[in-house]
Structure 1
Amino acid sequence: MNTNVIFQNPYERAGVVTPGLPILPHGVERHPIPGGGSRAVQIFQGDEITVQDREGLQPVELVFFAPDGTSDAAMIGASGGRDPEGLKAALLSDKSGAKVLRALDAAGFDIGRADGTRIFSDGSRAGEVEKFTATSDGLLIVCAPGVATSPHEQWIPTEIALYISRANPGDEKGKLLPPEPLADPLVDINILPGEAKAYEVRKGQYIQVLDVQGRECSDFQAFSMRALDKGLEREIDPTTTRALMGSLYPNPGLHSRYCSSDQERLVEIVQDTVGRHDTFGLACTARYYEELGYPGHLNCSDNINVELGQYGVRPRGGWPAINFFFNTMLDDTHSITMDDPYSRPGDYVLLRAMTDLVCISTACPCDIDPANGWNPTDIQVRTYEKTNEFSRSIGWRKFPEADMEETKKTGFHECFAKHTRDFVEYQGFWLPNQMSNHGAIAEYWAAREKAVIMDLSPLRKYEVTGPDAEKLMQLCVTRNMKKLPVGGVVYTAMCYEHGGMIDDGTVYRLGETNFRWIGGNDQSGLWLRKQAVERNLNVWVRNSTDHHCNVAVQGPLSREILKQVIWTPPENSTLEELDWFRLTIGRIGDYHGPAVVVSRTGYSGELGYEVFCHPKDAEEVFEAIWKVGEPMGMIPLGLAALDLLRIEAGLIFAGSEFDDQTDPMEAGIGFTVPLKSKTDDFIGREALERRKAHPQRKMVGLDLEGGIVPVPGNCVHIGKPQIGEITSAMKSPILGKVIALARMDLAHAEYGTEVEIGQLDGDQKRLKATIVPYPHFDPKKERVKGNYS
């Protein structure tokens, strides 16, 4: 076995590294396979097959069929004779598996007579690989078997990667082919750089604009066909769209829909795998190139004019367009600048026609600036029938080289969808923002006076197991893991070597060598795995986010609700006995109910609990809690109300109170860095000791006059100089005033100091404020401990 084979490397030229464009050697394909899933790939004689266990401890099953339907593992140089029971279970587990089975049956491949091979069954390490070579053409099926796990268990199926090195690559070196269509296309057009293509789309049909090679811009316009038939040109109008959407510049990303000057809705965005586009400029024009010294240069506006001439559309010197993948931005003076696009090979935008349309798309020919990464390439346009169903999605990547993931629904999504249609994307998941019949203020008051239930499933969970689990956690977090008992939970920071924070989160200790890290982002889990590999520790770090979803039940009545729902075995703490920052393992209802892990934790400043379960049990768990809680006044709570609760309680949020330039002391959580009682070394210790001895900034609370809520990032002044910035702010319902959290220069951080918050240019509008202790609400944490006066 070999753990050192790396197939993907960031593209690099002359000292410029672009991790967003992972480069595979010519003829090498990569096929990710999710934990519990499978994939079939056509294989040709001489192809080299490499299977990589990304996270460790994931067994893999392989089956190979020759064209005549025979199955023999020896045809890929493997030892067979195993029943591929994991593959069979995976294929029977969902509708997509059933579809694969039907396709195999139609092709004459009998999975019941397959000669299976199993690898990594003896405990593989993260990154380990196995290699095979095909001696025959055929079909390879690879499966990462796994079953649903209880929330207190820590073996979960994880992703593997399949690499195929083609013996005869065939295609032009370095040129990628378009990925498979999303469905059977009605139109499938390849647009070369410097071309524009017009096409017709009917109401309800879908339009996919796809960047084949990556880093290429594509202008898009759409005309109302009904208006064209009347001799009227009514295309997407940027000004009308901005006004109706209430957003001047969608930065980054796209408006959800685009309209004509008659305010007719023309297209809506369904999926976007990139997340960054320019939507307020013109397609490139002849004048742009002429003024830079390139007369006669191909340009998109002239190309659009030629193509639209067949529809009688008058030519224009410059065409307003949705400029997909074009990475423009505004500087402090609102001047437009540009850089390389964010799009990777195969990235796309999927739109839906809201009326009959004449559309046009281009592949931009610009090669004199970074607009196309200095290298214009092709664009693929496909249209699909309206009978197809495509979920709404915004592309998510854990890190630049990672595979794109569609926005996911949590296990509790349908439960909350009964109460709202207002969902927003958060860290790759759809989460409710506000409830239709309540709104943020009503949800806030329910948390303060009764109880709420909220979906926190996007929190990242990583299982840390093995003999060196405690050693790894002791190295990577600031709290002392040696003092954390089994069944204990602790809030802590995780830092880089320079003291800047990676993340804050909680550590659950499930056993002597079993920990669960729960944080806000994947970087913290990936950091744990990186340290484990680089330091050769006997420990595994595996992502379990998709296998453990969780709701928080918060508020004064949370204990009264959950004690009627959660059953615990005699040897475990009951819900009523559970102390602050402790966990218990139980079930819903009784011994036969779904398994749950319950911790007395939360993010609201109120008495509260978090309930973890497997997604397959999520709806049953929610309904059990709801059945008891609703009659007692419990309502669902969304992100908008959660932000109000956490600011009042002085709870920090990534990107607001901390980032990788902020240490825990500056973020206001210095209590998570026990430098005296934790004598062991940990990552960032030396830097934190230095920073603590010579502090520069401090987190403070502010009480504001005037009733205006400042915006995060607003500058804080004493006179002319800036001495701090706002990190979070709100109008507190319970306190009846505007409050804020701010990071201040230590020289001006004394309580009672009067400051001014700058708006407009920082000088022409000032909001008076006074530095006060925080948290503003319940500073002694009496409510979160359940001590109500």
Structure 2
Amino acid sequence: MNILPVFPTPYERAGVVTPGLPILPHGVERHPVPGGGSRAVQIRKGDQITVQDREGLQPVELVFFAPDGTSDAGMIGATGGRDPQGLKAALSGDASGARVMRALDTAGFDIGKADGAIVFPEGSNPGDYASFVASRDGLLIVCAPGGAMEPHEQWAPTEVVLYVRRANPGKQKDGLVPPDPLADPLADLNIQPGEARPFEVKAGQYIQILDVQGRECSDFQAFSLRALDNGLEREIDPTTTRSLMGSLYPQPGLFSKYFSSDQEPLVEIVQDTVGRHDTFGLACTARYYEDLGYPGHVNCSDNINRELGAFGVRPRGGWPAINFFFNTLLDDTNAIGMDDPYSRPGDYVMLRALTDLVCVSTACPCDVDPANGWNPSDIQVRVYGETEDFKRSIGWRKTPEADVEETKKTGFYECFARHTREFVEYAGYWLPNQMTNYGAIAEYWAAREKAVVMDLSPLRKYEVTGPDAEELMQVCVTRNIKKLAVGGIVYTAMCYDHGGMIDDGTVYRLGETNFRWIGGNDQSGLWLRKQAQERGLNAWVRSSTDHHCNIAVQGPLSRDILKQVIWTPPQQATVEELPWFRLSIARIGDFHGPSVVVSRTGYSGELGYEVFCHPKDAEKVFDAIWEVGAPVGMIPLGLAALDMLRIEAGLIFAGSEFDDQTDPMEAGIGFAVPLKSKEDDFIGRKALEQRKANPQKKLVGLDLDGGIVPTPGDCVHFGKPQVGIVTSAVKSPILGKVIALARVDVTHSEIGTALEIGRLDGDQKRLKATVVRFPHFDPTKERVKGNY
């Protein structure tokens, strides 16, 4: 039988491509299976089953149970006879395993009698797939087996995807159906476009507002039930909320609440998979459509009036509302516009009621502008009980078409939570911003004078292995990887063909054909994998971020602290012997302690080290270091203090000093592009040679008069014309003055050049500045080398 798999493709119409709206043909389902996890799906006779390995080298276990409890891999055309050991381990490992266990228990199936089949037993390349056809009804379990990876190893379980093409999908429905609830809902309301639905919620209960089809706006209001009972209308007030939260819309974290005009918190945001809404516009009104020439057009404000009338709420010509998923634009002239929403199918916001509420939600009917992507669709509202445990998270995606992922806690989260509640979302993880009993200034001085410990786990890690691994790294980064010894580390840039930077990062060489890329974002790892595939290289690039959490121990006492904690075997350098940009494979305490990789690297401009371990060992690693470090003054350090340290040290940051329009020379790391000593070609070389020969911009240091700290993005002027922008700025504690990094035209980049930083409109307020050498602090890097 010729089985043709079906994979999602971006939605496209008339030359407009929307990767955020991947589509599958009618009757085809997509079920991601997490690395190390499992998934159970009901199968019918004749269904086509396709399993795809996303990153390569990931074995897959399949188990199929018939309704009578028998298990035979042959029922789906697979070869069985294998004990599904990976699946049995996964069932007790994570949330996906718990869901599969519930499905097995409900059906009365015995996993001990499972007939397992292995897919990709000989290894696989990224994108490889295998397809099967079910000969009878049953329950299919797919597992991507794999356990905890030690920090010196390079095999981590990765995601696979199950596609099911239904043999009898039934009549095609108009659009997608809502995804399964996150828990047993107390209420489950589907709101069609042009409708509004009221509902009551008790304090502590959760409200999920879900965009079923994607690109649909939903207006939301909530009233204090206690106030209504007293004859008062006290609903969410956008102006009060914005003023108290200091942002256009609250987000999960510290600044998450929506307030009434009496400054009473009514709801808080717990989860948000979109992160772009509106909190100051009106729900659409009759006048809006009348002014566009559409009298009588159904509108959300009239719908809200009608539904809230039963609660004694007075009607209004236009309802101030929280416009979830609505994409408001403000231009330089303060004109308000709109564009398609950012929401994709299944995106949602989760709120928690802080008091008893009367709520109303709409599915906006607007079909005359981009507010709903020109295609109004339905909204699903679900209410969950107060005993549910929904973790705070902000959705993020590696690529526009990737599955949404929740903000995660790092392996060290609980260790830092002992010292602070102020966590902020950073690259898909919760990281501490400041410590409760210290604050950024105290943390900064501890790094300069004693020692600090910080969480750098969100750094992206990718394992690059295979016979052509060196060739892949050599062509993808600017440094000469052929000269990198085993155990060595090199800081480098990764560029596109036009010379713009993808990322900066470090390459760790663990063996002759074994590398680890550590960068700031997933695009660099995905770029490596793309190049390996397109160039036909015998190399694999596999994500390992969640298997490598890392803390940095930085400061003058860092060596003295770690030498008491880290045990190294005879063939590895001790902490005292470890030179700059080298690594050791080690353990905590002694031969039997948790495995770690220690590197003499950091992001502070001080002597320091990074310690990598698996999340399962994170608390043991932290506690061992803390036990030695705390008595000599080591304290935890958050992101606010880290920003001070890195700006003083002239260390660049993505989105500030560089982006895909900035080359490494313009970003201030021209030293990482050895065009003379690296003779091999690499991606972007030709463009970088041209850019270097004809420089346009240069990163410079600035000293500022006065005490005002400019904002990144502020314009830099030489007289009237703008000649650059500020990329980062801070008031330096140790230097006692305001300093900045700025990218300016080369004609005004000489040391001593007097410039001005524009505020307000760039002309009405100017901050005097002088071009100076950078790094501002320790320009010869004596401190980071430990020579002080």
Q: TM-score range by the shorter chain?
A: over 0.9
Question: SS of 2:361's equivalent?
Answer: strand
Cα contact 2:39–2:96 (8 A) shared by 1: no
- Equivalent residues of 1:252, 1:277 under 8 A apart: no
Instruction: Give secondary structure in 1 for the equivalent of 2:234.
Output: coil
Shift of 1:2: 12
Q: Are the counterparts in 2 of residues 300 and 364 from structure 1 also a CA contact under 8 Å?
A: yes
Q: Give 1:105 deviation, angstroms.
A: 3.3
Q: Name the aligned partner's letter for residue 497 of structure 1.
A: D
8 Å CA contact 1:582–1:599 kept in 2: the answer is: yes
- 8 Å CA contact retained: 1:193, 1:376: yes
| Preserved contact between residue 3 and residue 129 of structure 1 (Cα < 8 Å) | no
Q: How far, CA to CA, are the matches of 1:148 and 1:518 in structure 2?
A: 19
Q: Flag the 1:103–1:249 CA change in 2: closer, same or farther, 3 A.
A: closer
**What residue number does 1:161 align with?**
161
Q: Which amino acid aligns with 1:367?
A: D
Query: What is the identity, as a one-letter code, of the residue corresponding to 1:247?
Result: S
* Structure 1 counterpart SS, 2:186: strand
Number of equivalent positions: 788
Deviation of residue 123 (structure 1)?
Answer: 1.1
Q: What one-letter code is carried by the residue in structure 1 that aligns with 2:331?
A: D
Give runs of aligned pairs for residues 743-762 of structure 1, distance below 5 A: 743-762=743-762
CA distance in 2, matches of 1:4, 1:43: 18
Q: Where does structure 1 lack aligned partners over 5 or more consecutive residues?
A: none
- Which residue does the alignment assign to 1:360? 360
Contact map agreement 2:250 2:269 (CA 8 A) in 1? no
Write out per-residue CA displacement over residues 494-516 of structure 1, whole angstroms, 9 at most, x where no aligned residue.
00000000000000000000000
Deviation sequence 1:50-86 (CA, Å, 0-9, x none): 0000000000000000111111111101111111111
Q: Contact 1:49–1:132 at 8 Å: present in 2 too?
A: yes
- Report what 2:399 is aligned to: 399
Tell me how far 1:250 sits from its aligned partner: 6.2
Cα displacement (A) at 1:95: 6.6
Stretches of structure 2 that go unaligned for 5 or more consecutive residues are none
The amino acid that maps onto 2:730 is M
TM-score of the two chains, using structure 1 as the length reference: 0.98
2:686 match: secondary structure: helix
The worse-fitting range, judged by mean Cα deviation, of 114-123 and 648-657 is 114-123
Q: Map residues 515-594 of structure 1 onto 2, 5 A cutoff.
A: 515-594=515-594
Q: Secondary structure at the match of 2:183?
A: coil
Superposed CA deviations along residues 369-417 of structure 1, whole A, max 9, x for unmatched, are: 0000000000000001101110000001000000010100000000000
Deviation at 1:93, TM superposition (A): 2.7
- The answer as to 2:41 corresponding to 1:41 is yes
Name the counterpart of 1:740. 740
- How far residue 337 of structure 1 moved from its aligned partner, in angstroms, is 1.1
| Change in CA separation of 1:348 and 1:714 when aligned onto 2, cut-off 3 Å | same
| CA 703–302 in structure 1, closer or farther in 2 if over 3 Å, else same | same
The separation in 2 between residues aligned to 1:460 and 1:160, in whole angstroms, is 19
- 1:267-299 Cα shifts (integer Å, max 9, x gaps): 000000111111110000000000000000010
Contact 1:252 1:276 in 2 (8 A): no
Secondary structure of the corresponding residue to residue 185 of structure 1: coil
Q: 1:35–1:145: 8 Å Cα contact kept in structure 2?
A: yes
- Closer/same/farther in 2, CA of residues 518 and 247 from structure 1, 3 Å limit: same
Question: Where do residues 56-95 of structure 1 align in structure 2 (5 Å cutoff)?
Answer: 56-94=56-94
- Percentage of matched positions with identical amino acids: 81
Per the TM alignment, residue 247 of structure 1 is displaced from its structure 2 partner at its CA by: 3.1
Counterpart AA for 1:695: P
> What residue is the counterpart of 1:310 in the other structure?
310
CA distance, structure 2, for counterparts of residue 702 and residue 535 of structure 1: 43
Alpha-carbon distance in structure 1 between the residues aligned to 2:143 and 2:96: 14
1:73–1:117 contact (8 Å) kept in structure 2: yes
The corresponding residue for 1:289 is 289
For 1:308, give the aligned amino acid: L
For 2:748, the aligned partner's letter is H
Contact 1:36/1:144 (CA < 8 Å) preserved in 2?
yes
2:488 maps to what in 1? 488
Conserved in 1, the CA contact under 8 Å of 2:254 and 2:422?
A: no
Amino acid at match of 2:534: E
TM-score (norm 2): 0.99
Distance change in 2, residues 1:142/1:593 (3 Å): same
Give the letter for the 1:88 counterpart. K
| 1:507–1:518 contact (8 Å) kept in structure 2 | yes
Q: Deviations over 1:139-161 (max 9, x none)?
A: 00000000111100001111101
Q: Give the letter aligned to residue 526 of structure 2.
A: L
Q: What is the match of residue 500 of structure 1? A: 500
Residues 1:777 and 2:777 aligned together? yes
Q: Distance in 2 between matches of 1:716 and 1:521?
A: 28
* 1:651 counterpart letter in structure 2: L
Provide closer, same or farther for how the CA distance between residues 142 and 527 of structure 1 changes in structure 2, counting only shifts above 3 A: same
Q: Given the superposition, is the C-alpha separation of residues 17 and 98 from structure 1 closer, same or farther in structure 2, using an over 3 Å criterion? A: closer
1:532-560 alpha-carbon deviations (Å, 9 max, x no partner): 00111000000000001000000000000
Q: Matched residues in 1 for 2:181 and 2:634: separation?
A: 45
Alignment correspondent of 1:624: 624
Tell me the distance in 1 between the aligned counterparts of 2:411 and 2:647. Answer: 27
| 8 Å contact kept, 1:3–1:128 | no
Contact residue 251 and residue 276 of structure 1 kept, 8 A:
no
**What is aligned with 2:123?**
123
- Alpha-carbon distance in structure 1 between the residues aligned to 2:736 and 2:300: 55
Please list, as runs of the form range in 1=range in 2, the aligned pairs for 1:124-163 lying within 5 A after superposition.
Answer: 124-163=124-163
Structure 1 residues 689-740: Cα deviation after superposition (integer angstroms, max 9, x where no partner)? 0000000000000000011000000001111100111000000000000000
2-side partners of 1:285 and 1:102: how far apart? 47
Contact 2:756 2:767 in 1 (8 A): yes
SS of 1:303's equivalent?
helix
Q: Following superposition of structure 1 onto structure 2, how do residues 682-693 of structure 1 map, counting pairs within 5 Å?
A: 682-693=682-693
**Structure 1 counterpart of 2:577, which letter?**
E
SS at match of 1:63: strand
Inter-partner Cα distance in structure 1 for 2:4 and 2:677: 39
When residues 253 and 408 of structure 1 are mapped into structure 2, their CA distance, relative to the original with a 3 A threshold, is closer
Describe the superposition over 1:413-438 as per-residue Cα deviations: whole angstroms up to 9, x where unpaired: 00000000000000000000000000
Matched residues in 2 for 1:94 and 1:282: separation? 43
Distance 2:475 2:63 in 1: 41
Cα pair distance change 1:110/1:183, threshold 3 Å: same
1:626 alignment partner AA? W
CA contact (8 A) 1:11 1:19 kept: yes
